[in-house]
Structure 1
């Protein structure tokens, strides 16, 4: 079957135990725009918050499910162990380092990984994040910062960078990335004494890489507050996504089949070490149910949940997102 290469990161979805603190951190500290306040479509009793560039362009979305009763993450293998966020240039990391000091955000020193300047840090729940410089990027284009962000445009976060997998069996994950998903092995580097393999797809570059760290000396990660739920990679449209549905069916990989998410269309499966991967279409996007100017200000529900709005809202703790 003639499949087009995946286009890079689409979104990363993580877990929080507190939507209000999460909203404050990602909008007021990191300066991202909340482009959609909606619910987890598989459990409408909890919020699903989408933070991104000015309009939630594909490749810029960091999303969170709010599970108030979630326990703390037990770190380990077979996990998405870090999410990178792109900033325009090396000098931006100095800006962010000072900002993290001012706001007492846990962070490390600036370092260089796979030829890029990086700055790792954690949010209030221990979510593992890395700022990565786009100064030398020659791959997938970045997003566009929201003009009302508290962060100066020249230093603002402009999308998702490399996603890190930590796995017990490198060969098994590498096989899925290359032989099934069409990634190319690009590079390798050492992190804390362990080898990391770099894979890229599509145009490559900061927004189209997966970094895979092999650690077979750790327990399997237990997800909770501060962990990543899944990563989604970009496919161009629904026609292309349906081809992937057929491919996974033909090779008998257990999967969700086609899933309607309204803001995009999806397909889910687990790779060989158990990490949940989604393939998602670039569109339709987030402006089908609210205008660009007021994205994220009200609770948005896909049309197929609209008749349940009263019941859904009654189960959610109010979250004020209109500044």
Structure 2
């Protein structure tokens, strides 16, 4: 089947138990823009918050489902165990290190073990995050920081970087990445007490890499607040997504089939170690129901949920985002 290469990361979706503190951390501490305040379309009693660049360009979205009763995350294998966020240059990491120290954000030291300058840190729930410098990066473009962000543009986060997958059986996930999704094995580096293999797709670079770590000695991760739910990869169009639906069926890989998400179109499946992958289209984007100037300020619902607005809003704790 004539499939175009995936273009890189589309979004990463994680879990929070506290939407208010989550909003404050990702907008005021990290300087991202809340481009959409909506609900989990599979459970409309749950907020789904999208943080990104100025307009939620594909490849810039870090999203959260609010599950107030989410328990502690017990870290382990078969998980998305770190999400990277792109910053413009090596000097940006020193800016962020000083900012984290001032604000009391837990962080490690700046390192180069991945082959790029990086700074690992966690949010208030232990979400595992990494700032990665794009100073020497060549590959897929990032987005455009919001001009009303509290972070100076020369240091602002403007996209998703490599996503780290920790698995118990590397070969199984590797075959899905290369044989099914068309990733190329690029290089290896030593980190996390083992060897990490880098896979890239499309134009490559920080916005199009998956880092794969095998840790058969670890128990399976038990997710909770501060864990990642799934990672999504970019597909150019709905026409291309339909080809992927047919291709996975042909390969006898169970999937959700086509799923309408309004802001994009999707397809979900689990790779053999149990990590949830999504393929998502670049469009239509987030300005179909809100103007650019007011993205994320009100509760946005896809048209097919609009007749349920009153009952949906009644189940949600108000969240001020203006």
Q: Sort the TM-score into its range (normalised by shorter chain).
A: over 0.9
Q: Mapping of 1:151-300 within 5 angstroms?
A: 151-300=151-300
Cα offset for 1:174?
A: 0.4
CA distance in 2, matches of 1:275, 1:192: 19
Aligned equivalent of 2:72: 72
SS of 2:319 mapped into structure 1: coil
Contact 2:40-2:46 within 8 A present in 1 as well? yes
Q: TM-score, normalised by structure 2?
A: 1.00
Contact kept, 8 Å, 1:114 with 1:187, in 2: the verdict is: no
Task: Classify the secondary structure of the residue corresponding to 2:117.
Answer: strand
Q: CA deviation at 1:193?
A: 2.6
The whole-number CA distance in structure 1 between the counterparts of 2:210 and 2:113 is: 13
Determine if contact 2:139/2:203 at 8 Å carries over to the other structure: yes
Report the counterpart of residue 315 of structure 1 in structure 2.
Answer: 315
Q: Give the Cα separation in 2 of the matches to 1:55 and 1:310.
A: 27
Q: Could you list the structure 1 runs, at least 4 aligned residues long, displaced by more than 6 angstroms after superposition.
A: none
Does 1:96 pair with 2:90?
no
**What's 2:9 paired with?**
9
Question: Deviations for 1:136-167, whole angstroms, at most 9, x for unmatched residues?
Answer: 11100010000000000000001000000000
Q: Note the C-alpha offset of 1:268.
A: 0.0
- 1 CA distance for matches of 2:63 and 2:134? 22
Give how far 1:75 is off: 0.4
Q: Return the alpha-carbon distance in structure 2 between the equivalents of residues 276 and 202 of structure 1.
A: 21
Aligned mates of 2:29, 2:101 — CA distance in 1: 12
Structure 2 unpaired stretches of 5+: none
Give how far 1:250 is off: 1.0
Superposed, 1:139-158 pairs within 5 Å as 139-158=139-158
Aligned residues of 1:14 and 1:227 also touching (Cα < 8 A)? yes
Distance 1:254 1:182 in 2: 18
Q: Report the TM-score, using the length of structure 1 for normalisation.
A: 0.99
Q: Which deviations, in whole Å up to 9, do the C-alpha atoms of 1:65-94 show, x marking residues without a partner?
A: 000011011100000000000000000000
Distance in 1 between the 2:117 and 2:148 partners? 26
CA distance in 1, matches of 2:170, 2:101: 36
CA RMSD of aligned residues (A): 0.5
- What is the aligned length? 322
Deviation (angstroms), 1:122: 0.1
Q: Which runs of 5+ in 1 are unaligned?
A: none
Q: Does 1:83 pair with 2:80?
A: no
**Structure 2: how far apart are the matches of 1:192 and 1:43?**
35
- Equivalent-residue separation in structure 2 for 1:228 and 1:135 (angstroms): 27
